[in-house]
Structure 1
């Protein structure tokens, strides 16, 4: 059987994988905080620069963008989460699990064939126009990677011994 690259294949499996990787990075951070006797809030509120979101905010944005993608590609409204309760590592794991579940709920049949379908997304005060493929490959995937990389960098900057393989979900994730 020959695999083909479809809009579904280019988005949904990778987004789920990115959520798995994000969870791995956070678990490394939580374990490191426990091992070093550091209050978890030190990591959860840390940021790379004063004008950037802290770790919790980075996770919230990564999950928000990731979960919206398949719904927008399918032409449906993405679920909205109440991000007020994300104050612990366990809260972030629950957010990631909910995101994975919502991403997985959109089917291949709902997405494939919609590569050229045009739609608008309101981003703050501005509305942007996309096609399915430009939204997935030009907006969603780069943004999710950016915010997950920032989580990785925040933890790394705070002494968590993360390596490149951890970004990909750990050594066992690559097979």
Structure 2
């Protein structure tokens, strides 16, 4: 049985957005200040934690919205630096993804979508499925992994099971 575009994207996005909410709960419960977390990054040439969290949303729910309208532009706005608001934003994105239908995602196959970054004259055309699977999904995991790594780097007590969140194991 072939896997659907929905199955290849949405459940894992939901899993990781939910997991990230747990990381933030652990960060809030730690002795590490919000300011320390908000300014933390892995290297000077990488974005700090709030942007990594924001880009998780951009490459999950934002990617779905981009295919709907046929265009994605990079989100260059400064995101919230408040941990609770980040958690709420992740939860809102998760809930909107839960409301998606399989049929809508399947309608994205073959639909044209462009990644447009005007300051650098970039316009990359994709078919909807390739945009989600070869552009947004890898970006989503990059930013999720980076956000998680930043929390570990500053001393938040998160481990591999926190990163994975609620896996979808099948009863045998």
TM-score interval for Structure 1 and Structure 2 normalised by the shorter chain: 0.7 to 0.9
TM-score (norm 2): 0.82
- Aligned partner of 1:14 in structure 2 is 12
* TM-score w.r.t. length of structure 1: 0.81
2:51–2:79 CA contact under 8 A, matched in 1: no
1:109 and 2:103 are equivalent in the alignment: yes
1:69 corresponds to 2:84 = no
Whole-angstrom CA distance in 2 between matches of 1:106 and 1:72: 14
CA-to-partner distance for each residue in 1:42-88, whole Å, 9 max, x for gaps?
1121111111111011111111121122223445678xx99656121
Q: Which residue of 2 aligns with 1:90?
A: 84
User: Over aligned residues, Cα RMSD in angstroms?
Assistant: 2.6
Gaps of 5+ in 2: none
**Inter-CA distance 95–82: structure 2 relative to 1 (3 Å threshold):** farther
Instruction: Note the 1:1-175 alignment, pairs <5 A.
Output: 4-33=2-31, 38-75=32-69, 86-124=80-118, 125=120, 126-169=122-165, 173-174=166-167
| CA gap 1:85/1:49 in 2 versus in 1, 3 angstroms | closer
Contact 2:28–2:83 under 8 Å retained in 1? yes
Name the SS for the 2:123 alignment partner.
strand
Stretches of structure 1 lacking an aligned partner (at least 5 in a row): none
